[in-house]
Amino acid sequence: MTDGRRTDSTALGDGASPPAPAPLSTRAREAVLQRIVDRRYAQGARLVEREVAEELGMSRVPVREALRALVTEGLLELLPHSGVRVRRLERADVEHLYEVWEPLTIQASRLAARARAAGDTEGLATLEAALHQAESAAAADEATREVAAHTAFHESMVAMSGNPLLARTMEQLSWQLRLVFGLREEPAHMRAQHAEMYRHIAAGDAEAAAASTLLHVRDSRSVALRSLFGEG
């Protein structure tokens, strides 16, 4: 969720070497997370280290480290004498997530609009691309790709804010948000709300962007609670 901009002279175009690949344990963690988000690993499913390692084509050591990390992060839980399982989301988990995400994403939209008013066209183009990706995925009835596009919209808004501390803070919520977005319904009006947020950001209207984002987050919370727990 960072903006990816470079300010030094070590860009690849200047002859620098490409970044080193992520450690195997990091790659294993991301692969397991993605399988939780897209529901290949369902809530409550037991994960066997050996089987996960075989599926990922890795040795058991990085997979073991990845599973331990995800236990620490609260996405997996230990089973007595039998490995781990995917932790089931409780209502309190969702409530706590939205309590933290709401003010942060409202501020991100406000700052993104200010960035646009100051002349940011690149960030705006990225937001627009995420909108088009969501519409394309919805038209093709590709739910996983639509969730990815919705997540990309919010991450692009944070990047456009230009605030690195906000970006780092939001990064800590990234996978929890993807998980909730992946488990809930994706009604069409959520895409319409993103389009409304985009219009206010494109106009450089910070307070209108913040207000529309507040309505979106509150509605997203209701949709998530209704989808996951049958209540709003």
Residues of the chain with pLDDT under 50: 1-13
What pLDDT does 3 receive? 44
What pLDDT does 5 receive? 42
Query: Assign residue 180 a region: left if phi > 0, alpha if psi is -120 to 50, beta otherwise?
Result: alpha
Q: Could you tell me the pTM of the whole model?
A: 0.81
* 29 Cβ contact partners less than 8 Å away, ≥ 6 residues apart: 65, 66, 69, 70
What pLDDT does 1 receive? 45
User: What whole-number distance in Å separates Cα of residue 212 and Cα of residue 68?
Assistant: 39
Radius of gyration over every alpha carbon of the chain, rounded to an integer in angstroms: 19
What pLDDT does 7 receive? 42
What pLDDT does 197 receive? 98
Which tokens belong to 179? 């998980």
What pLDDT does 16 receive? 55
User: What whole-number distance in Å separates Cα of residue 5 and Cα of residue 2?
Assistant: 8
